[in-house]
Amino acid sequence: MSISRRDFIKYTSVAALGTGVLGCHHEMNVSKSAGIMMPKSGKRIVVLGGGWGGATAAKYIKQEDPSIDVVIVEREDNFISCHVSNWVIGGFKTMKDITISYDALIKNYGIKVVHAEAKELDAEKKQLKTDKGILEYDLILVSPGISYRYETIAGLNSAEAIKRFPAAMKAGPETVMIAERLAAMKSGGSVLVAVPPTPYRCPPGPYERVSLIANYLKKNKPGSKLFVFDSNDDVVSKGKLFKAAWKDYYSDIIEYVPDNYIKSVDVGTGKVVSEKGEITPDVANIIPAMKANQTAFDLGLMSKEKDLWVRAEPYTFESYKYKDVYVVGDATHNGAVGGVPKSGYVANSMAKVAASAMARKLNGQEPLVPTYVNTCYSLVNEDEGIFVSAVYKYDEASKRIKKISGGVSPTMNALFGRHAQDWATSIWSDMLL
Amino acid sequence: MINGKLLFFMAIVAAVLYVPATSFAEASVSEGKRLGKTCAGCHGTAGNTPGEYIGKIGGQNPTYMTKALTEFADGKRAKSVEMSIVSKGYTQEQLKSIAMYYSTQKWVNSTNNINMAKAEAGKAIAMDNGCMDCHGANGEGMDEYPRIGGQNKGYLYEVMKRYKSGDIKSDEMELITELNDAQLDKLANYLSGIR
Ligand SMILES: Cc1cc2nc3c(=O)[nH]c(=O)nc-3n(C[C@H](O)[C@H](O)[C@H](O)COP(=O)(O)OP(=O)(O)OC[C@H]3O[C@@H](n4cnc5c(N)ncnc54)[C@H](O)[C@@H]3O)c2cc1C
């Protein structure tokens, strides 16, 4: 890769910023001529994405072998948890509760965090190009999460429309937008939540959100209605449990319409046209269909032309496209890895498998037989929780992940609600502390 | 001379007997680590569970833990819904390895908030009922007696209620049926507060 004068200045300014940009206390060298940041000396694994998959992988690689240099590339300053972000929308948690810094990973494990935007991958040279410079690696793990397919809904693919109809399936400004709009709405108003077609991130996520918005309306905005337009023919996850809660608590608030996808939106009037009818809600949360994060496409990780998710083999999570490039989390292709939900717990499990396989590979060892777990807790109001949980193994015959044991909570109750809170604390600590 | 030889011989026998035993235990621990790493999503890294209502498992006794895991898998502790589902995903041998692995991890005392007045009252109840005779002066436990000192408060309270109601059956824990929920709450404050 050659380097322009403009890039040269950019890289130099990284060096000048020093600790600020890298979020860590070491002096970082920037080799100016090659545009290479922090030239590699020993074994190095670059981790693209400091979300559930990436943060877990970085920590577990270091636990496996502290001598490996681990560098996380993450565009955001802090980790913001998607899980519990529905509780912010529901009005009983704040963004502060779900924002966690990367400081402990840096301090406790010597992980380096580069806040930069990954742009291109040179799998031959083993280099990741970012807007702050080039990083060399021996192995790279990519856990970039999801992107929305705005283009599947007419009228939605513009900055203005996205603001009018936010999705908020990545926790952040859109989460706050929805919470604020609900708070500002008059009593007797109408809210729309549109559920995307599967596969999408966090199967129970939209339904937990529906429950908690209904709970909020019940307490704060009497007479309001919540319309749920579901692209799927039924509630995708924990259906019986969610529907029981809606019937018991929110029967006069929630209007659930299955098999009803969104056709178009009008940013001017706020009108939403669905297959079964039109509505102009006061507050709209439209979750479009999803695909692997655009970054996965930009890095060239798709092995087939029309693929929307990255194919990786689930024994180590090495991608089918490139050797030494591993992919975990929501971005993975269900057909290739097997039928696991796109959840944070699964991303955390996959990352541990990949971390172990990668560290062992750099030390000339064979990977261990993998194992995986999933759990998704959801709240149906401030107190009561429900969950789904499963244990998976690697199936030799199909070369895919297969369920061994699984089930859902028999009912909703306050103890499961407590467990839901504790689960969040546990898994955050497992990723970031 | 003969004595020396005999000692030397015994040392060899001991070494021969000892080596396979260690490597078996080590194999079990590394197998348990491979399988048990995923438990950390609910129980925290190395079983140091930071919340209140999920029990700490890092540093718990392997004998007790194996028994508990086996009973979860056999459906004998049906009120522990998560654990009933999860433990069915492993063989008996695997559960034993997982228990071995977590038992080798460091026990880290709970940081839950303790109501000091309740803890004082709880201490008196514990002394009156001889709880620590079985569980150890600091609730550190041993073999089939679980470690309860420094365990998470909410978990302790809930699990004691299950012994009381008979949802978990244990002859040794019979005496808990005599205590009411308010007393169990006090005990939970005392036990969790042992640090
Ligand atoms: C409302 C909601 C509720 C949820 N509840 C649960 C739950 O109860 N249980 C559960 O298990 N899961 C839950 N999830 C799902 C969970 O959040 C995701 O499955 C998880 O985030 C997936 O992890 P990941 O590593 O694949 O992606 P992410 O966590 O999204 O991480 C990707 C990271 O990569 C970064 N990145 C991407 N591209 C670039 C680039 N080019 N340069 C630099 N950085 C980049 C992003 O900024 C991001 O930080 C929920 C999700 C939502 C939205």
At B188 the pLDDT is 98
Please check whether residue B108 touches A, CB under 8 A. Answer: no
Among the candidates A289, A311, A338, a domain finishes at: A289
- B28 & B91 share domain: yes
In this structure, the answer to whether residues B156 and B185 fall within a common structural domain is yes
Same domain, A259 and A359: no
B109 in any annotated domain? no
Task: Check whether residue A83 and residue A129 sit in a common domain.
Answer: yes
Q: How far is A99 from chain B (nearest CA, A)?
A: 17
CB A423 within 8 A of CB A348: no
List the domain range (segments joined by +) for residue A325. Answer: 5-145+293-368
Contact criterion met (CB < 8 Å) for A352 and B154? no
pLDDT digits (tens, 9 = 90+) for A38-78: 999 999 999 999 999 999 999 999 999 999 999 999 999 99
Task: Write out residues with Cβ below 6 Å of ligand 1.
Answer: A 49-54, 73-76, 82-83, 85-86, 117-118, 143-145, 169, 201-202, 205, 293, 295, 329-331, 342-345, 347, 376-377
**Judgement on whether residues A257 and A308 belong to the same structural domain of the protein:** no
Q: Judge if A224 and A312 occupy the same domain.
A: no
Q: Is A429 in contact with B44 (Cβ distance < 8 A)?
A: yes
| CB-based contacts of A87, cutoff 8 Å, min separation 6 | A93, A97, A212, A379
Last residue of a domain, one of A368, A388, A410: A368
What is the distance between the alpha carbons of residues B5 and A54, in angstroms, rounded to a whole number?
59
pTM, rounded to two decimals: 0.91
Number of structural domains (chain A) is 2
Residue B81 belongs to a domain: yes
Closest CA to B28 of B95, B109, B80: B95
CATH number at residue B124: 1.10.760.10
CA of A51 to the centre of ligand 1 (A): 5
| Domain presence at residue B172 | yes
Q: What is the Cα–Cα distance from A107 to A24, expressed in whole angstroms?
A: 8
CA distances from A283 to A68, A255, A280, B65, B183 (A): 48, 15, 9, 50, 49
Q: What is the side-by-side order of every strand in the sheet holding A254-257? A: A254-257, A225-230, A190-195, A283-286
Say how far apart CA A139 and CA A346 lie, in whole Å.
Answer: 21
A154 and A141 within one domain: no
What is the complex's ipTM, to 2 decimals?
A: 0.87
Distance B39 CA to ligand 1 centre (A): 20
In a domain, residue B149? The reply is: yes
Quote the tokens at residue A7.
Answer: 């890039």
| Token pair in block for residue B176 | 């808990």
Q: For residue B176, give every residue at least 6 positions away whose Cβ sits within 8 Å of its Cβ, in sequence order, or none.
A: B160, B163, B164, B184
Please tell me whether residue A91 adopts helix, strand or coil conformation.
Answer: coil
Q: Are B101 and B69 contacting, i.e. CB atoms less than 8 angstroms apart?
A: no
pLDDT the model gives residue A26: 38
A215 and A227 co-located in one domain: yes
Q: Note the pLDDT of residue A21.
A: 39
Smallest CA-to-CA distance from A11 within A38, A32, A42, A41 is with A32
Q: Do B41 and A404 touch (CB under 8 A)?
A: no
Please tell me the predicted confidence (pLDDT) of residue B26.
74
Of the three residues A289, A314, A333, the one that is the final residue of a domain is: A289
pLDDT of residue A67: 97
Pocket test for ligand 1, best of A134, A141, A202, A286 (most atoms within 8 A of CB): A202
Q: What DSSP assignment string belongs to A152-182?
A: GSBT--SHHHHHHS----SSSHHHHHHHHHH
A105 and A199 both lie in a single domain:
no
Report how many domains make up chain B: 2
Look-up of token digits 């092995």: A303
Structural domain span for residue B157: 116-193
Report pLDDT for A4: 39
Domain membership of residue A171 (yes or no) is yes
* pLDDT-derived band at B22, boundaries 50, 70, 90: low
Closest residue to atom 23 of ligand 1, CA basis: A52
Q: In whole numbers, what is the pLDDT of chain A averaged over residues? A: 92
Mean pLDDT of chain B: 89
Please indicate, yes or no, if residue A391 is contained in any of the structural domains.
Answer: no
If DSSP codes are grouped into helix, strand and coil, which group holds residue A290?
Answer: strand
- The set of residues, in sequence order, having a beta carbon less than 8 Å from that of A317 and lying 6+ positions away, is A141, A326, A327, A328, A332, A337, A350, A353, A354, A357
Residues B90 and B179 in one domain: no
B69 in the same domain as B131: no
Please count the other Cβ atoms lying within 10 Å of the Cβ belonging to residue A300. 14
Q: Closest Cα to residue B110, out of B139, B67, B143, B142?
A: B139
Is residue A180 a part of any domain in this protein? yes
Q: Are A375 and A423 in contact (CB under 8 A)?
A: yes
Confidence of residue A2 (pLDDT cuts 50, 70, 90): very low
The answer to whether position B49 is within a domain reads no
Mean pLDDT computed over A388-395: 95
Tell me the CATH number at A278: 3.50.50.60
Structure tokens at B66: 């194996």
Instruction: State residue A148's pLDDT score.
Output: 98
Q: Distance between CA B49 and CA B112 in Å, rounded?
A: 11
**Do A129 and A118 contact (CB within 8 A), yes or no?**
yes
Which of B103, B136, B158 is the last residue in one of the domains? Answer: B103
- A345 and A259 part of one domain: no
* A158 falls within a domain: yes
Report residue A11's pLDDT band, with 50, 70 and 90 as the boundaries.
very low
Query: What 3-state DSSP class applies to A60?
Result: helix
What residue has token string 């029309």? A306
CA B55 to CA B77: how far, in whole Å? Answer: 15
**Assigned domain for B123 exists:** yes
Tell me how close the Cα of A400 comes to any Cα of chain B, in angstroms.
Answer: 17
Same domain, yes or no: A175 and A85:
no
Query: Both B96 and B15 in a single domain?
Result: yes
Tokens of A286: 């439209």
Counting every residue written for chain A, the total comes to 433
Do B11 and B99 lie in one domain? The reply is yes
Q: How confident is the model over B27-60, as pLDDT tens digits? A: 789 999 999 999 999 999 999 999 999 999 999 9
Residues of B in contact with A352 (CB under 8 A): 37-38
The label of the residue with tokens 């580069």 reads: A114
Both B165 and B133 in one domain: the answer is yes
Give the CATH number for residue B67: 1.10.760
Q: In this structure, are A191 and A221 located in the same domain? A: yes
A375: in domain: no
pLDDT score, position A216: 98
Are residue B73 and residue B152 in the same domain, yes or no?
A: no
Residues B72 and B124 placed together within one structural domain of the fold? no
| CB pair distance less than 8 Å for A425 and B45 | no
* Same structural domain, B77 and B153: no
Task: Count CB-CB contacts under 10 A for residue B17.
Answer: 9
Q: Which percentage of chain A shows pLDDT scores above 70?
A: 92
Residues B160 and B187 in one domain: yes
> Which residues pair with residue B30 across a beta bridge?
none
Residues in chain B: 195
Per-residue pLDDT of B59-91, as tens digits, reads: 999 999 999 999 999 999 999 999 999 999 999
State the average pLDDT over residues B157-172: 96
Q: Under a CB-based contact definition with an 8 Å cutoff, are residues A237 and A204 in contact?
A: yes
Question: Does any domain span residue B50?
Answer: no
Q: How many other β-carbons are positioned within 10 Å of the β-carbon of residue A12?
A: 13
Say how many C-beta atoms besides its own lie within 10 A of residue B161's C-beta: 18
Q: What is the pLDDT of residue B25?
A: 73
Q: Which of A57-71, A105-119, B11-25, B178-192 has the lowest mean pLDDT?
A: B11-25
Query: Using CB atoms, which residue from A345, A371, A416 is nearest to B41?
Result: A345
Sign of CA dihedral A324, A327, A332, A334: positive
Q: Whose CA is nearest to atom 37 of ligand 1?
A: A144
Phi first, then psi: give them for residue A291, nearest 5 degrees: -150, 175
The answer to whether the CB of B107 falls within 8 A of the CB of B58 is: yes
Q: Has residue A431 been placed in a domain?
A: no
Say if the Cβ atoms of A375 and B158 lie within 8 Å: no
Rounded Cα–Cα distance for residues A244 and A432 (Å): 35
Statement to judge: residues A46 and A97 lie in one domain:
yes
In a domain, B165, yes or no: yes
CA distance A257 to A44: 51
Domain assignment present for A381: no
Are residues A285 and A305 both part of a single domain? no
**A301-305 average pLDDT score:** 94
Please check whether residues B19 and B81 belong to one and the same domain: yes
Higher pLDDT, A11 or A427: A427
